[in-house]
Amino acid sequence: MEDLKEKKIEYARVITLMDIERIKLMEAKKYHVLVEGFVKEMLPQILGVEEYTKMKKEQDISIMIGEYMGETDMLYGKKEGEK
């Protein structure tokens, strides 16, 4: 962030801190999509790992991905109300 603030000075009032924040949020979405795709692809392998299969866990375990205290996507498990 400090690098961006220093670089902003070169553009005197053309780029604001709000612009930098907006760019960071746009880029964060791209990384989220990459991570979500990677986790979805690796999930079958993760679920097959011996250590995971030996772990004590609830029958209705759910694995979700998303922001902390924000919107999430279910990767594994049952949605509420499903049997």
Q: What are the structure tokens assigned to 15, written together?
A: 């780029």
pLDDT at 78 over 70: no
Whether 32 is in a domain gets the answer: yes
Domain count, the chain: 1
Whether 83 is in a domain gets the answer: no
Whether 41 is in a domain gets the answer: yes
Whether 29 is in a domain gets the answer: yes
pLDDT tens string 44-66: 998 899 998 898 887 788 888 98
Buried b vs exposed e over 59-75: b needs ≥16 C-beta within 10 Å?
eeeeeeeeeeeeeeeee
Query: For residue 70, what are the domain limits?
Result: 2-76
Whether 51 is in a domain gets the answer: yes
Backbone angles phi, psi at 64, to 5 degrees: -125, 160
Whether 22 is in a domain gets the answer: yes
Whether 82 is in a domain gets the answer: no
